[in-house]
């Protein structure tokens, strides 16, 4: 139920895994688009075994309760990013034993079924909040996450909401606040921006509607998180020794960022950057990556920084420390200009 980005992506992924899927939406156009891309068939009137509610956050609780009442034997889950209000509504309906909350921690900066991807959830955390549900119902919802190759995490709804306020909701507001602060600058001033600003503000392009709903639903945990961030910034602003305060904040940030999971959700590993100056011409990036592959070096991550008013870009290849020096020498021997570390 719901044919937007998440609902359609779930439909595509489950059908690719061999599941029988129907998809519906209150918007006939969205429903038609989702079906046209193969995200599901039209409902045939029979009672489903499992209902996945992929409605906007503000509507999720009402749609879950309606589904529980419409299909008295079906297990119902939802994918809303705030779990507490939906769980409370399901419990109040008297059907809480058939409701299992879930939240796939995946998305894109674009919305709608035309942006759907069947592999959107692969290797991404998929939180399951069992609530009052028995193991059989939880297992049914877990099977969805596993079919879509998500990384299942089980936790309490309240703990989930507190966690996502810090790892998802507050970062959106922080990114938007940094971007909004650019409003006092001229175009020439903004042209000085480097990759650091681009990294911090990447998600600032998000549309506000869904985030306003999330903030309303998760207000308490979000405000507590914002209070924490604001207190840290006020400590810097009001410090007699601002240099020491900045040092303390950055050091604490360095310690905590190291806890963010690395590639494939594993422990974050130390990588070494090799930055190459790449002409902004067709085929040059492909040529660079081909040369890297020829020397049997795996690229752990890659970033590209375009130089304003320059016909080149800086491509940083993140590799394991033991590979960096040999890779740099090989690239230079092939005629690439490697920037000083």
pLDDT of residue 207: 86
Could you tell me the two tokens for 245?
Answer: 């305060």
Instruction: Write out pLDDT tens, residues 100-115.
Output: 999 999 877 667 888 8
Superfamily holding 5-155: NAD(P)-binding Rossmann-like Domain (3.40.50.720)
pLDDT of residue 194: 84
Instruction: Write out pLDDT tens, residues 69-128.
Output: 999 999 999 999 999 999 999 999 999 999 999 999 987 766 788 888 999 999 899 999
Q: Which CATH number fits domain 161-257: 3.30.465.10, 1.10.3660.10, 1.10.10.10, 3.40.50.720?
A: 1.10.3660.10
Could you tell me the two tokens for 8?
Answer: 């359609």
pLDDT of residue 36: 95
Question: What is the distance between the alpha carbons of residues 65 and 51, in angstroms, rounded to a whole number?
Answer: 11
* Sequence ranges of the domains in the chain: 5-155, 161-257, 272-338
pLDDT of residue 314: 87
pLDDT of residue 113: 87
pLDDT of residue 305: 82
Could you tell me if 169 and 195 are in contact, meaning their C-beta atoms sit under 8 angstroms apart? Answer: no
H-run or E-run covering 152: strand 151-154
Q: Which of 253, 172, 265 is nearest to 212 (CA)?
A: 172
For the chain, the distance separating the N- and C-terminal CA atoms, rounded to the nearest angstrom, is: 51
Question: What is the distance between the alpha carbons of residues 81 and 169, in angstroms, rounded to a whole number?
Answer: 9
Q: Which CATH number fits domain 272-338: 3.30.2130.10, 1.20.210.10, 3.30.420.40, 3.80.10.10?
A: 3.30.2130.10
> What phi, psi does 66 have (nearest 5°)?
-60, -40
Q: How far is CA 124 from CA 3, 194, 263, in A?
A: 21, 29, 11
Q: What angle do CA 29, 202, 191 make, to 5 degrees?
A: 120
The upper half-sphere exposure of residue 49, i.e. CA atoms within 13 Å in the direction of its Cβ, equals 10
pLDDT of residue 185: 97
> Which regions of the chain are under pLDDT 70?
109-110, 262-269, 307-309, 341
Could you tell me if 5 and 107 are in contact, meaning their C-beta atoms sit under 8 angstroms apart? Answer: yes
pLDDT of residue 109: 64
* Most distant CA atoms of the chain, gap in Å: 71
- pTM reported for the whole predicted model: 0.80
Q: Which of 213, 126, 139 is nearest to 169 (CA)?
A: 213
Could you tell me if 268 and 261 are in contact, meaning their C-beta atoms sit under 8 angstroms apart? Answer: yes
């Amino acid at each position: 139920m719901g044919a937007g980005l998440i609902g359609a992506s779930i439909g595509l992924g489950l059908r690719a895994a061999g599941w029988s899927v129907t998809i519906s939406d209150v918007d006939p156009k969205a429903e038609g688009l989702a079906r046209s891309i193969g995200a599901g068939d039209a409902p045939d009137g029979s009672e489903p075994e499992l209902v996945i509610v992929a409605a906007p956050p503000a509507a999720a609780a009402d749609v879950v309760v309606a589904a529980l009442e419409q299909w008295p034997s079906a297990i119902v889950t939802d994918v809303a990013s705030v779990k507490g209000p939906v769980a409370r509504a399901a419990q109040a309906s008297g059907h809480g034993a058939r409701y299992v909350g879930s939240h796939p921690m995946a998305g894109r900066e674009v919305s709608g079924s035309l942006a759907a991807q069947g592999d959107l959830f692969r290797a991404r955390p998929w939180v399951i909040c069992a609530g009052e549900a028995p193991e059989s119902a939880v297992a049914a919802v877990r099977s969805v996450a596993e079919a879509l190759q998500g990384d299942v995490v089980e936790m309490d709804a309240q703990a989930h909401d507190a966690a996502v306020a810090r790892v998802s909701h507050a970062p959106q507001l922080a990114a938007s606040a940094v971007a909004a602060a650019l409003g006092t600058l001229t175009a020439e001033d903004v042209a000085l921006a480097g990759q650091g600003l681009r990294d911090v503000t990447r998600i600032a392009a998000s549309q506000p509607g869904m985030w306003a709903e999330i903030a309303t639903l998760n207000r308490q945990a979000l405000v507590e998180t914002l209070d924490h961030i604001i207190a840290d910034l006020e400590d810097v602003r009001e410090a007699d020794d601002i240099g020491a305060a900045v040092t303390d904040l950055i050091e604490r940030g360095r310690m905590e960022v190291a806890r963010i999971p690395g590639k494939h959700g594993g422990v974050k590993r130390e990588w070494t950057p090799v930055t190459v100056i790449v002409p902004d011409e067709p085929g040059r990036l492909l040529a660079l990556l081909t040369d890297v592959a020829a020397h049997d070096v795996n690229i752990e991550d890659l970033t590209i920084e375009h130089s304003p008013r320059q016909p080149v870009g800086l491509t940083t290849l993140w590799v394991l420390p033991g590979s960096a020096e040999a890779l740099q020498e090989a690239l230079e021997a092939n005629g690439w200009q490697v920037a000083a570390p």
